[in-house]
A and B are shown apart, each in its own frame.
Chain A
Amino acid sequence: DTAVSQTPKYLVTQMGNDKSIKCEQNLGHDTMYWYKQDSKKFLKIMFSYNNKELIINETVPNRFSPKSPDKAHLNLHINSLELGDSAVYFCASSSGQGEKLFFGSGTQLSVL
């Protein structure tokens, strides 16, 4: 069983479209995250949820909206996609803030 699973693995779309990435963890963790990895491999946190409550919201355009229906799921919806949104998006979870992160395998988003 995959501990942190995210879908889809690849997402190719046109500028201006709206897309969603789904994430689920079966580790029983309370905290989930979205990270963005750019072409230079820099990893930057975007959002963090603890037990469905938003606790970290970095300087991310409000076109990005996370949604956590329960503590095992954290989805990312992106409106009006732009070329600069092309990156790999990683979902992660941890048992608490500041603890070991378990990452999903990533979603490669390409905006054409």
Chain B
Amino acid sequence: QQQVKQSPQSLIVQKGGISIINCAYENTAFDYFPWYQQFPGKGPALLIAIRPDVSEKKEGRFTISFNKSAKQFSLHIMDSQPGDSATYFCAASSAAGKSTFGDGTTLTVKP
């Protein structure tokens, strides 16, 4: 049973465009929803995270939108840059348990 479903698997965006990656979860006990960015040959690194008591969180060009009733959350990258090309993972966790990751989205931003 996959607890966190992520889409799309891959995404190609032109420089300056908006990249949108979506995730859906099943376990209502999850209370922490981070996004990780991974470059080739590196470990994933936290990009931005949200807790379910807010519907949106913005940090620079990166925004998480959270819909608790639909059990969905998404990452928006505004003004996408070639340097944003990486693999992005959503995740969900609760204080009582482990972090469960989505399957990842490979983002390519074309110059």
Interface string of A24-62 (1 = CB under 8 A from B): 000000000100000011111100100000001000000
Contact A42 B97 (CB under 8 A): no
Residues of chain A within 8 A of B87, CB atoms compared: 41
Residues of chain A within 8 A of B96, CB atoms compared: 97-98
B interface, size bucket: 20 to 34
A interface, size bucket: 20 to 34
Give the shortest distance, in Å, between B32 (CB) and chain A (any CB).
Answer: 5
Contact A103 B93 (CB under 8 A): no
Total number of A-B contacts with CB less than 8 angstroms?
62
Contact A43 B44 (CB under 8 A): yes
In the complex formed, the residue of A with least CB distance to B34 is A100
Q: How far is the CA of A98 from the CA of B98 in the complex (A)?
A: 6
Contact A101 B46 (CB under 8 A): yes
Interface string of B33-66 (1 = CB under 8 A from A): 0101010011111100100000000000000000
Contact A42 B34 (CB under 8 A): no
Residues of chain A within 8 A of B101, CB atoms compared: 42-44
Interface string of A90-109 (1 = CB under 8 A from B): 10100011111111111000
Q: How far is the CA of A111 from the CA of B73 in the complex (A)?
A: 38
Give the shortest distance, in Å, between B40 (CB) and chain A (any CB).
Answer: 10
Interface residues of A (CB under 8 A from B): 4, 33, 40-45, 48, 56, 90, 92, 96-106
Interface residues of B (CB under 8 A from A): 31-32, 34, 36, 38, 41-46, 49, 87, 89, 93-101, 103-104, 106
Instruction: Write 25 A-B pairs (CB below 8 A) sorted by A numbering.
Output: A41-B106, A42-B101, A42-B104, A43-B44, A43-B89, A43-B101, A44-B101, A45-B100, A48-B98, A92-B43, A96-B95, A97-B95, A97-B97, A98-B96, A98-B99, A99-B32, A100-B49, A101-B34, A101-B36, A101-B99, A102-B46, A103-B36, A103-B45, A105-B42, A106-B41
